């Protein structure tokens, strides 16, 4: 079978739309006809070379669609099921899955190579083998993935919003609820109000934060953050810090969460400068490979005030539990997902979508594959 896809051949070049050969699913694998894929900044990192991956690679790690075929031994889903793909697989049996840390599943070790569990790939271009980003490749109209990456959807959950639950929604929401551990009445600063930051705002609101202060230089994103539940929004960290000082009578924030598109040492330092004693800086963003993003003076920034720096994957969410949970919160009107989708793009417009993302025009762009069915 052949399928169209957006791929990266070498860093710094635009996404290339091409047609690839796709193998049939092997044991414990399924073929999915993707309907939608979110345009996440992590895919742009592999295109620019900020993240070092095995190239060439099929982009996309946030998608939903229909199961078309299954390999031997598949039990989690069946042909015809509507599914969302988690960018972190959850095998259910490794040390981390079996101790309630599915976001650290051992199968996630091949996220940057795209290799499936048998060490091979299913996409081919002549004599060249291509992996799918995060072992998915949702920028392809069809892909073969592990059943460990698939979560069946309730029939009343739309496929378009479901796609966002594969990465950005749980990563942002979990940044506040799980990774930071925001509690009722606390003050939270969120640096970056894009797709992940907007969901960190929603998570902080859900946890009962009293003050949710957003920092983003883009007016559109600041306004949007207020709609998702932020109580204050500022263009610069300096403005936000002064407001936090006044709101807390000088005690400063309980949490600062970094959700900017590209993490830098300056952002981490700004976050640490926002929080008070026994407070936490939660790092969700990633930066350029090879650069050092955490550079703090231990005496004042960490030891003296008993502060913590917390990194995490997927918002410390458990895909098999939290993705259905978040989609049910959406169904019950407690989580805003439709509002995250600023614009929809065809596969051929993927470079336009990322230009819009880089220039701050969208919260989340959605790639719509032909024949999506919805």
pLDDT recorded at residue 289:
76
d(CA 198, CA 190): 9
d(CA 286, CA 40): 12
d(CA 85, CA 61): 8
Of the chain, the end-to-end C-alpha distance in Å amounts to 23
CB 86 within 8 A of CB 166: yes
pLDDT recorded at residue 236:
98
What are the structural domains, with CATH classification, of the chain?
2-165+337-368 (3.90.180.10), 172-313 (3.40.50.720)
pLDDT recorded at residue 372:
44
Residue-wise pLDDT tens digits, 302-325 = 777 888 999 999 999 999 999 999
**Smallest Cα–Cα separation from 313: which of 14, 32, 61, 34?**
61
CB 177 within 8 A of CB 151: no
CB 273 within 8 A of CB 215: no
Residue 342 is inside which H or E element, if any?
A: strand 341-346
pLDDT recorded at residue 300:
66
Low-confidence ranges of the chain (pLDDT < 50): 372-374
pLDDT recorded at residue 323:
98
Say how many C-beta atoms besides its own lie within 10 A of residue 334's C-beta. Answer: 12
d(CA 258, CA 256): 7
């Amino acid at each position: 079978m052949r399928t169209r896809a957006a791929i990266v051949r070498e860093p710094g070049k635009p996404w290339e739309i091409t047609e690839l050969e796709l193998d049939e699913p092997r044991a414990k694998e399924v073929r999915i006809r993707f309907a939608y894929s979110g345009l996440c900044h992590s895919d742009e990192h592999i295109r620019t070379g900020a993240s070092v991956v095995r190239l060439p690679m099929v982009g996309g790690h946030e998608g939903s669609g229909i199961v078309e075929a299954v390999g031997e031994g598949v039990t989690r889903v069946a042909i015809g099921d509507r599914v969302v793909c988690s960018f972190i697989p959850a095998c259910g049996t490794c040390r981390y899955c079996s101790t309630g840390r599915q976001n650290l599943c051992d199968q996630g070790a091949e996220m940057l190579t795209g290799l499936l569990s048998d060490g091979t790939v299913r996409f081919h271009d002549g004599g060249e083998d291509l992996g799918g980003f995060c072992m998915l490749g949702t920028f392809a109209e069809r892909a073969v993935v592990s059943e460990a990456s698939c979560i069946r959807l309730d029939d009343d959950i739309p496929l378009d919003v479901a796609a966002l639950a594969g990465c950005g929604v749980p990563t942002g929401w979990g940044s506040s609820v799980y990774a930071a551990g925001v509690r009722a009445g606390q003050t939270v600063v969120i640096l970056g109000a894009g797709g992940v930051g907007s969901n960190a705002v929603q998570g902080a609101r859900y946890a009962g934060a009293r003050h949710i202060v957003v920092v983003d230089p883009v007016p559109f994103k600041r306004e949007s953050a207020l709609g998702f539940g932020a109580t204050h929004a500022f263009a610069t960290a300096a403005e936000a810090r002064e407001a936090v000082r006044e709101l807390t009578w000088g005690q400063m924030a309980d949490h600062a969460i970094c959700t900017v598109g590209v993490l830098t040492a300056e952002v981490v330092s700004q976050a640490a400068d926002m929080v008070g004693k026994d407070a936490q800086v939660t790092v969700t963003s990633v930066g350029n490979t090879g650069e050092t993003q955490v550079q703090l003076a231990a005496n004042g920034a960490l030891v003296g005030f008993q502060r913590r720096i917390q990194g995490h994957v997927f918002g410390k969410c458990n895909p098999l539990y939290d993705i259905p949970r978040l989609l049910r919160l959406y169904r019950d009107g407690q989580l805003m997902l439709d509002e995250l989708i600023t614009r929809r793009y065809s596969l051929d417009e993927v470079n336009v979508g990322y230009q819009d993302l880089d220039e701050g025009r969208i919260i989340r762009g959605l790639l719509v594959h032909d024949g999506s069915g919805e």
